[in-house]
Chains A and B, each alone.
Chain A
């Protein structure tokens, strides 16, 4: 098979994994040196495809031959897809050629499971080692970890990769048992602990060998089973706490060819995925707890974002006075982000806050209007019934990503 054909097969096979951020690497430079590549911690999106997703890394599988039969996966052994396998040199060549042309910031490599877990993991590590050692490649490398591989191989992967990730795949262990019978929640979590321990050691002991400086992340498929957002967010919150995860990625389940009857054949729930990302961001960045965002079973509202939904459920806390309120509360106002909250705090050390300041800070005025007061502004809607406000907000929410 020609290299181009392999690339088509193995990029198509890899594209359902959304966890391809290229951030969190330490500062590296090749200025005037042998070798190639630099990182500075920030990811770069070198292109966008018409699905609106960022192309930051060369995202491919080493092979899409796979012994497992995960129902949601296009590469499962019972799937009738063309199969291919890259050699180490082919992956290295593609990575370096694309990198030199500034098409990518690095490599995101994963694989179907062939022969054995260790055999597969070792092959992935070999690619990373060849890039780092032989070619002195200093760009980004993200390796997907095979959960059942031996801890020793995971350690080796951490020497070369900027980020390691193990996918939890599905929101609950019941779903995993049902849809990915060869996988086990226990081994997935063991692999995540191995990575966490490696990260802990590397931070605690400055002379410890380098270990995945960009941390670890995971991905969860949404919409392949019927778990609700309440369960998802609860589980996600414990994942963040237990494994020092940088990020949890949500991937709306995309229909696959010859879809088995165990998974739905429907358009990917993109808006739901979007709401989960927003909720996740509130948990990581704003100190929200999962049970504040969804107090009982069910899904996040698709009509309004989770921060606005929370504020509407807590009308008794608002409006708040921007000259007096805590930073923590200001950041909880719909339409005001963390950065703006900090800027409000700096500005009010100089003088009192005026309503127009908020426009200049780039806040979303429509959203915040009912929730704040300033010396020159009081909300008119303060007396409005919660429902009336909700209706008003809904009509003013811009259309989100369209579904089919």
Chain B
């Protein structure tokens, strides 16, 4: 049995689709292909790409609905851990099984379909995290710097969601100029056009980002005032907070400086009342009805 090795230069669903089509046409079963992500540790026995065999006399072909294709593409944005299966191998086994008439291969109850489903969920969840927890900082921009971004943000997503998540910010920010930087790439929008910039080598670092950021943003103080005040110490429930807002995001959120203080304050008495203790000592006043 020949083993075929395929290198995937980058997160390129189109390239995978191409390869998958040729593999199906040649009836190469999933067990005979070694997919290699560029970043995965090289297999000692694998050298360059192997030439794929010519199409078989009875080639397999597969027509996928647009919705199914979209699901596969979404799952391909998942970055597996070292113990998890390579994304391209998983997807190829799914289409191979579909081509054999196993319609369940893409259903959530199936062993492969279930993994695909989990990965789609994780990717969508990460898109959602980025929509929710990314924070823009306003930059002072002088008239000479008419092209410099007014709002910049740093975010470390767990999966390949930069592009998917960025569309949301394009809709949101109108004609503002902004920049979102992540380790794998940055997205720049000038209020009309946007493009993605990849690091020349390696990844962007938070230091690269910090070099861009020049100033404190005073709206942050207002936000901190709001955050502490909208918190209700009588309902203290850290577990739900941490479950909904995983701590890996806190590092780049201004409110991180308040969280532990608010919790311990609530534990030490403030919990008896809902009111913000900054108000308890202030002079209040009752209202008399007009005659």
Contact = CB atoms under 8 A, between A and B. Distances in A.
A66 B232 contact: no
B285 A256 contact: no
Contacts of A52: 235, 237-241, 244
A254 B223 contact: no
Interface string A34-54: 111110100011111111111
B94 to A, nearest CB: 14
B289 A77 contact: yes
Contacts, number: 232
Nearest to B115: A360
Contact of B226 (A7, A74, A257): A7
Given A8-B225, A81-B279, A351-B104, 19 more contacts: A11-B225, A30-B175, A36-B173, A47-B227, A47-B253, A48-B244, A80-B285, A82-B282, A100-B136, A101-B136, A101-B219, A254-B234, A254-B235, A270-B237, A343-B107, A343-B109, A358-B109, A360-B111, A361-B108
B285 to A, nearest CB: 6
Interface of A: 3-4, 7-9, 11-12, 14-16, 29-38, 40, 44-55, 58-59, 65-67, 74, 77-83, 94, 97-98, 100-103, 139, 252, 254-257, 267-268, 270, 343-344, 346-347, 350-351, 353, 357-358, 360-361, 401-402, 404
A274 to B, nearest CB: 10
A256 B135 contact: no
Interface residues of B, number: 79
B280 A257 contact: yes
Given A8-B278, A82-B284, A360-B111, A30 B174 contact: yes
A80 B279 CA distance: 11
Contact of B266 (A50, A97, A252): A50
Residue of A32, A65, A252, A256 ringed by the most chain B CB atoms within 10 A: A32
Contact of B287 (A34, A54, A77, A344): A77
Interface of B: 103-104, 107-111, 114, 117, 128, 131-138, 151, 153, 168-176, 191-192, 217, 219-223, 225-241, 244-245, 253, 255, 259, 262-263, 266, 271-276, 278-280, 282-289
B226 A35 contact: no
Contact of B230 (A33, A49, A252, A358): A49
B138 A100 contact: yes
11 contacts: A47-B132, A49-B241, A74-B275, A78-B286, A101-B151, A102-B153, A255-B272, A256-B273, A347-B107, A360-B114, A361-B109
